[in-house]
Structure 1
Amino acid sequence: MSEQELTIPRVLARAADADPGAEAVVDGAVRVTYAELRERVREVVAAFTAAGVRPGDRIAIWAPNGLRWIVTAIGAASAGVAMVPLNTRYKGEEARRPLAKSGARMLFVVDGFLGIDYPALLGLDPATGTVPELPDLEAVVTFNGGERPGVTSWEAFTGRGAEVPVEDVAARMAAVRPDDIADILFTSGSTGVPKGVLSTHEQNLRTFEAWAGRTGLRRGDRYLIVNPMFHTFGYKAGVLACLLRGATMVLQDVFQPEETLRLIEAERINVLPGPPTIYTSLLESPDRAERDLSSLRLAVTGAADVPIALVRRMRAELFPQVVTAYGLTESTGTVTVCSVDDDDEIIANTSGHAIENVEVVVVDGKGEPVPAGTDGEIHVRGYNVMRGYLDDPDATAEAIRDGWLVTGDRGRLDEHGNLTITGRSKEMFTVGGFNVYPAEIENVLLRHDAVVESGVTGIPDERLGEVARAYVRVRAGRSVTADELIAHCRERLANFKVPREVVFVEDLPKSAAGKVQRAALKDL
């Protein structure tokens, strides 16, 4: 792609011009071609214009995978507006933090997903139609519901755009530049305090053009997007990669093995990326033998250690091609990717080599590169390194040093440049493909009046890869049960963050400075 093409509206236009009648999105009974997708995106650009949302503003999406999620995200990018996706499992407090930090002017939700009233969970005051803690938030738009105080329907939102001249919409889309911020994905990091990662159009498109080339995604593929689109894996390696290749996006809002198997057969799915837990569930499903899965060609996985036995079984029973990769939000989602031609051992034991025009080094404690096969800290340099953290120059300077992204992950390179991950980023662990940060859970535990201090770590789980275990020291003279603490966390945290186990201890391992040493918790 030329530099002028490195914007999301231009990539959409290219896909629509190349094959306007090709299916772009399948969302349940709704089927949309690339030509129709472009028209729907233009309607959203017009609606943002009518609503007074200007280039450089931010909007947020707090909803499951769906056609309107895609149209809103691409519409925002095509209007020069940065999109902030929110995890659908967030509770109100968790969602308010990135909304406040980003200053999002509009929020898009689905009413009743998983039985949740998202505006009410956010703290919307029905009397005033506002969220007192979010003064920048001017409107909440529901993808699927009707009008009520403080909530606008999708039809009313898009209807306002009918008054905007077509020429103005086209001019606005043409004005988007490759170095404009396209999205802000929030990651808590080791502190549990949300930090917004700034990524541009050019970074997203160059990174996932490289990803698509390495994995072998191609025009005409039918890609099942079951990874949530609020995550890099679902949005960037899903929606944007499909736009770049002109592939069909088949959507599933919540992973359920039986429904996934049905969709694979009914929609003749070729490509199904996801964390290892998805493939384990599909392989073990009693419904698998009843479905025709012969269309499957490609799996792309990562986000957890991938057992070589699983890779071999996936290749033998589901996919001719299996690929593994490594990345983080601060690297626009991708650093290294295996090739579809690599053997089982390389795919299962490494995360492949760096994508084109990106450098990876492994360094010692002094920042000096170490020999092949030696463990150290992973540093990354290239076009995929984030522009920085939103309004946080200190955190940005800590993360990016002399142009190198300090990942906090540990690993080693082999003589061919393939990277093996040996440690988690800043004590993070992964639950079913979702990143979990101990500090955030510990902060919630400390809000219980019986807890004096706690430490959290990940422990192996057959289904999810890892789950949280909390080690808790109880305040003198107080008593509390494990079930009570788990319930306390469940009220305040997304399900995947809630500890599955609580271990009561008399003391926690600490450094000389008095900091809890999470790495030593498992030895208790």
Structure 2
Amino acid sequence: MILHRDQPPEGTLRDWVDARAAEGGDAFVFSDGSGPLDWQALQREARAIAGALTAQGLSKGESVAILHPNGRAGVLAFYGVVYGGFRATMVNLAAGQDAIAYALDHCDARIALVHDSVAEVFKAARPSRLKRMKDFSATSALHSIDPQDHALLMYTSGTTGQPKGVVHTNASLLAGGWTTAVAHDLGPADRALCVLPICHINGLCVTMMGPLVSGGSVAMCTKFSASRFWAQADAMQANWFSVVPTIISHLLHSTENPSKATMARLRFGRSASSALAPDVQTAFEARFGVPIIETMGLTETAAQILSNPLPPAVRKIGSPGIAFGNEVAVLGADLKPGPPNTEGEIAVRGPNVMLEYLKNPEATKATFTQGWLRTGDLGRKDADGYLFVTGRLKELIIKGGENIAPREIDEALYAHADVIEAAAFARPCKTYGERVEAAVRVCDGSTLSNDMLIALCVEKLGRFKAPDKIHFLPELPKGPSGKIQRLKLLDLTEAA
């Protein structure tokens, strides 16, 4: 099957796996030394898993829970489930027992594919109806499937309330890979370095679906390691990577450097999941000589909705870019797209948008407005079509009736070279309603103090927006992708 730049992929994931198998070539290489997995072997093993699942009497579109870390077995579990026409339910292993138990119960799965390393986690969290499948000897003819059949169920991080189960079809999941492939001009010669967990939409759609539809391959690591990142990129011959801002900051503060061969091979690095501070991006590019492409995506949109173009086209530092493969608008108070440079809620529509929230019609209805999926992010679009994210509705700090975007404060803090992680947040206050505080992680040996960082923010933002207090933490709380979970900081710093 051929990737068309001007239209989303047709068919199902099964169709695309079959097409890649017919072409041949490597699909995955792994950092754990398990050996390469070519498309023909992937097809053969995925088909076997699919046949065994079908023999269990599962209906088309039924959930199959997958509890696997990054690796060969996890890749085959995912492809085996979707190849059979079932709904791959990717369980976030870092979410904690309560969240795992909720997902396993809510998804209605009867069968789970579980890696030995997380067997005890599964045992502690599983509902009584859910069985771990170990015997794959029985087989059955596969269900017929079509593009609109369910393919993926992934739970949002649930920073407030219970997580929501995002349902993607074969069509929307493939379209998610297509938006990445089109934006980054991916082709058969490209190999993605995957260090993000495949139970997260970035790891799954960007670094797995992108190569599937473009004909490329994946270099998969078990997890991110700042000390091994460049060596892994070199050993597995990757020429692009997708990470999150915290990883870029950790690499910047690491003593490790890529080899000249690695630097020459890398076409670009990709940043997503949260805003990338301009000072961090500029410093990274100056040190390593690798262009960073800032992007934006959501679980609900099978990852990417916006991306900066590749060099030599214009990249606007501080913006996640322009729309590729979908439409992105800024909605005004009337919930209609507004004129350029007007702040409002960012919304998206296109082939990569989710089908629904599983068993939650109220949330599904509230998320869609006149065909647009509302993201909950605030922003503005300039005259060239570049989006600038100004905040998140749930994270805005409202001090004395004035809206303050935490991102402004984050970027001021990241301007200091000793700051590795930073996040501003609101604390209730009798005088102003809310006051500004922030949490940071600094590099070892730093002599930074509360007063020094507050003074930096006052210089850049003024006294009103500057934090009243800075909390120095050994680590900021993060979700499965490495995105800082800002809303957890209030409770985490309560006694400080």
TM-score (norm: length of structure 1): 0.73
Map of 1:394 onto structure 2: 362
Q: Quick check: 2:176–2:206 contact (8 Å CA) kept in 1?
A: no
Counterparts in 2 of 1:297 and 1:39: CA distance versus 1, 3 Å: same
Separation in structure 1 between the aligned mates of residue 208 and residue 25 of structure 2, nearest angstrom: 18
| Alpha-carbon shift at residue 359 of structure 1 (Å) | 2.2
Q: Map 1:281-300 onto structure 2 (within 5 A).
A: 281-288=250-257, 293-294=262-263, 295-300=265-270
Q: Who is 1:502 aligned against? A: 493
| 1:334 alignment partner, SS class | strand
The yes-or-no answer on 1:22 pairing with 2:14 is no
- C-alpha deviation, 1:266, in angstroms: 1.3
Partner of 2:271: 301
The DSSP-based 3-state class of the residue aligned with 1:44 is helix
Distance apart, 1:189 and its partner CA: 5.0
The answer as to 2:85 corresponding to 1:80 is yes
Change (3 A) 1:259 1:136: same
SS in 2 for 1:293: helix
Residue identity (%): 25
Q: RMSD over aligned Cα, in angstroms?
A: 3.4
Letter in 1 for 2:129: D
1:8 aligns with 2:13: yes
Tell me the equivalent position of 2:283.
313
Report the Cα offset of residue 323 of structure 1. 1.4
Matched, 1:211 2:180: yes
Q: Is the 8 A contact 2:242 2:272 kept in 1?
A: no
Q: Which of 383, 391, 394 is residue 351 of structure 2 equivalent to?
A: 383
Query: Does 1:140 find its partner at 2:144?
Result: no
* CA 1:58–1:27: 2 relative to 1, 3 Å: farther
Uncovered stretches (5+) of structure 2, i.e. residues with no partner:
397-405, 411-422, 426-433, 444-473
1:121 corresponding residue in structure 2: 124
Specify the code of the residue in structure 1 equivalent to 2:200: H
Structure 1 runs of 4+ aligned residues shifted over 6 Å read: 428-431, 455-458
CA distance in structure 2 between the aligned counterparts of 1:289 and 1:327, rounded to whole angstroms? 28
Q: Where does the alignment leave 5 or more consecutive residues of structure 1 unmatched?
A: 123-130, 142-151, 439-454, 465-485, 506-524
**Structure 2 matches for 1:75-474, cutoff 5 A?**
75-112=80-117, 117-122=120-125, 131=126, 134-137=127-130, 139-141=131-133, 152=134, 157-161=135-139, 164=140, 168-169=141-142, 172=143, 175-187=144-156, 189=158, 191-288=160-257, 293-294=262-263, 295-318=265-288, 320-341=290-311, 346=316, 348-356=317-325, 358-424=326-392, 426-427=394-395, 459-462=438-441
Q: Is the 8 A contact 1:190 1:426 kept in 2?
A: no
State the alpha-carbon separation in 2 of the partners of residues 40 and 112 from structure 1: 21
Inter-CA distance 417–223: structure 2 relative to 1 (3 Å threshold): same
Which has the larger share of helix? 1
In the alignment, the residues of structure 1 paired with residue 356 and residue 436 of structure 2 have an alpha-carbon distance, to the nearest angstrom, of 28
1:370 aligns to what SS in structure 2?
A: coil
Residue 52 of structure 2 is aligned to residue 47 of structure 1: yes
2:309–2:315 Cα contact (<8 Å) kept: no
Deviations 1:278-325 (A, max 9, x none): 222223322326785232222111222212233333334435442121
Alignment correspondent of 1:448: none
Give distance in 1, aligned partners of 2:92 and 2:437. Answer: 20
Change in Cα spacing, 1:22 to 1:53, as seen in structure 2 (3 Å) is same
- 1:405-440 CA distances to partner (integer Å, 9 max, x unpaired)? 122110000001111111125339999xxxx9x9xx
Q: Secondary structure at the match of 1:41?
A: helix
Q: 1:426 to 1:189 in 2, by over 3 A?
A: farther
Equivalent pair of 2:241/2:268 in contact (CA under 8 Å): yes
Aligned partners of 2:388, 2:242: CA distance in 1, in Å?
20
Return closer, same or farther for 1:374/1:239 CA change in 2, 3 Å cut-off. same
Cα displacement string for residues 334-385 of structure 1 (whole angstroms, at most 9, x for unaligned residues)? 2212110366751x221111123x2222122232433211211112222222
Report SS of the residue matched to 1:283. Answer: helix
Residue 476 of structure 1: aligned partner: none
| Offset of residue 220 of structure 1 | 2.2
Gap change, CA 1:118 and 1:292, over 3 Å in 2:
farther
- TM-score (ref. length: structure 2): 0.76
Work out the CA distance in 2 between the residues paired with 1:362 and 1:62.
Answer: 37
**Structure 1 Cα separation of the partners of residues 20 and 197 of structure 2:** 23
Whole-Å separation in 2 of the counterparts to 1:343 and 1:219:
22
* Number of aligned residues: 422
In structure 2, relative to structure 1, the CA distance for the partners of 1:360 and 1:413 (3 Å cut) is same
Q: What is the alpha-carbon distance in structure 1 between the residues aligned to residue 338 and residue 269 of structure 2?
A: 32
